[in-house]
Structure 1
């Protein structure tokens, strides 16, 4: 395995809080990279399954987890002696969960965010929520972004990711902690751009799913992905992101993967809506897992309106999910928008 720079201590004892598909996959990545990993699961029976049988069949069926991966439903035990903490809970529950863990978190070391979303009400990115709730310096927060379909990573298919932190050396420390034979992490300092890319792509993936459900083909998908990237970049520019971020793994990379794959919950959810199913029926099709775009379309839309940024696809998904519009209605409204140059 290639060597990475050794300019910061690598966290050895890492706690992953959350045992969904992405949390479990990232825990496996860390364990396969040689770290001592303990997972926290809300349900005791799931923690027992991971610890004793080396599996998480609900979220990662058929995947064998490393014997070195530990699990518990006791947060105090999970966090005891942790050098780094990975936050792997849904974006809209992050604040409440963090508040409950506040007294247990270590006084130093990275806090790594896997959540991708913009918080309803506050319109804060996940790193901002972490800083606000915990009071830690923003330089302790590392954001994971990129084309990270959990099942493919858990099956050890070659994948890459971006680790973003305003303190580059801290991003490097998590890079070294997670680098293994199938998972190649890159570092970045543009936390804003990486978080926006990860949040907004869920909404665009829902739009692509709707189009698939309506029976539309490759031209439509390419149009949605490209125009989706354009509106994400507009919002990013307004909020101070580096435009180049959206050309990389956290932008177009994550967007293409999430919009194209049947493993994407958001795309699957959108496809069910496109076929005429209700929100509840579409949610059941994702196996009870959270399709982040359903709520994020509202918070991102509100953030865009606050910043004076035009995001028509995000607005369309909000109207479909929350205003009672049908898939064909929002499609017609998008096609009927005023004509303009591509880059306006």
Structure 2
């Protein structure tokens, strides 16, 4: 029995993929649970993808199964409050975060947030290059399961693998957290670059130098180099910086084109950029692209001004 908390596009897609194996899956929806259960479809977030018969949608958190792993498909900036508000229900459970980013107040990633709020829980993280629609429609996708308990990590890897969802595992939760968080910031920069009409060569440069920034911060925090070059780092960066299915990339496109962006859409890279700027200052780490994205997102810089600031930096070895 697997439970998914959060019926956004990604949570729904995970529930669909897992339920296709025939195992019972419970999907908790904050709103419209009865309508989704009746329609067998998340018409708002993931239209056209049918929920298998073994998936059950519920609206009361108190009704979740008493055992089995729980996937937390809630936005990163809401995770800390969600855990605190539901601590009695979640305190001693196996909790797999299915969100990316850094908490703007604490600068912690999802695994560390779980450890801080619910120290008796068993935390893990599911991350990597993936779009909800691909998973929901059965397209092949590979993800990383990060868990510092090897035995639990192996059990979760087996439980979450489906015919279209291949799970790799690592014990490096720090690297997996930071790879999934920082790539969103670089995706905003790449979207702004293309939106402004700077071209693919400029985007390639931003991706490459952005990846160097990701490594710089993650390795300083104790991450393993191979984690950053894997699915949760470079793999996720490559996908997010090149596709308009990425919310962060689309947000960057809107910035570059000077267009309005739907404020109801979660763009984790904005909060992460601000958290990274503060964190990098404390650690005395140079993060120019992340700093430029924070300034762009707040309106302090235009895309042209941000590019000029990056190009005017002192020349250096790669």
**Where does residue 113 of structure 2 map in the other structure?**
129
In 1, Cα distance between equivalents of 2:66 and 2:22 = 17
Using structure 2 for the length normalisation, give the TM-score: 0.96
Partners of 1:163 and 1:188 within 8 A in 2: yes
Aligned with residue 103 of structure 2, among 103, 119, 122: 119
CA deviation map 1:174-207 (0-9, x unaligned): 1111211111000111100000000001111111
| 1:104 has 2:108 as partner | no
In 2, Cα distance between equivalents of 1:341 and 1:247 = 21
Using structure 1 for the length normalisation, give the TM-score: 0.89
Aligned with residue 7 of structure 2, among 19, 42, 63: 19
Partners of 2:29 and 2:58 within 8 A in 1: yes
**Where does residue 36 of structure 2 map in the other structure?**
50
- How far the C-alpha of 1:323 sits from its partner, in A, is 4.7
**Where does residue 89 of structure 1 map in the other structure?**
74
| 1:192 has 2:181 as partner | no
Partners of 1:33 and 1:179 within 8 A in 2: no
In 2, Cα distance between equivalents of 1:30 and 1:302 = 38
Partners of 2:17 and 2:165 within 8 A in 1: yes
Q: How does 1:199-214 map to 2 (within 5 A)?
A: 199-214=181-196
- How far the C-alpha of 1:106 sits from its partner, in A, is 5.9
**Where does residue 7 of structure 1 map in the other structure?**
none
Partners of 1:29 and 1:178 within 8 A in 2: no
CA deviation map 1:33-53 (0-9, x unaligned): 34311111111x2x1232111
| 1:73 has 2:49 as partner | no
- How far the C-alpha of 1:24 sits from its partner, in A, is 1.0
In 2, Cα distance between equivalents of 1:193 and 1:341 = 25
In 2, Cα distance between equivalents of 1:178 and 1:49 = 26
Aligned with residue 222 of structure 2, among 237, 240, 245: 240
Partners of 1:50 and 1:70 within 8 A in 2: no
CA deviation map 1:232-287 (0-9, x unaligned): 0000110000011111111110000111111000000110011012xxx2134xxx
**Where does residue 319 of structure 1 map in the other structure?**
295
Partners of 1:35 and 1:177 within 8 A in 2: no
| 1:222 has 2:201 as partner | no
Partners of 2:3 and 2:25 within 8 A in 1: yes
Q: How does 1:263-302 map to 2 (within 5 A)?
A: 263-277=245-259, 281-284=260-263, 288-302=264-278
Q: Secondary structure at the match of 1:225?
A: helix
Gap regions ≥5 residues in structure 2: none
**Where does residue 237 of structure 2 map in the other structure?**
255
In 2, Cα distance between equivalents of 1:35 and 1:98 = 26
**Where does residue 4 of structure 1 map in the other structure?**
none
In 2, Cα distance between equivalents of 1:33 and 1:176 = 12
CA separation of 1:123 and 1:106: change in aligned 2, threshold 3 A: closer
In 1, Cα distance between equivalents of 2:69 and 2:274 = 32
Partners of 2:174 and 2:222 within 8 A in 1: yes
Gap regions ≥5 residues in structure 1: 1-12
CA deviation map 1:33-81 (0-9, x unaligned): 34311111111x2x1232111111211122122121111110101x232
Runs of 4+ in 1 over 4 A off after TM superposition: none
Q: In the comparison of the two structures, how many residue pairs are matched?
A: 318
**Where does residue 130 of structure 2 map in the other structure?**
148
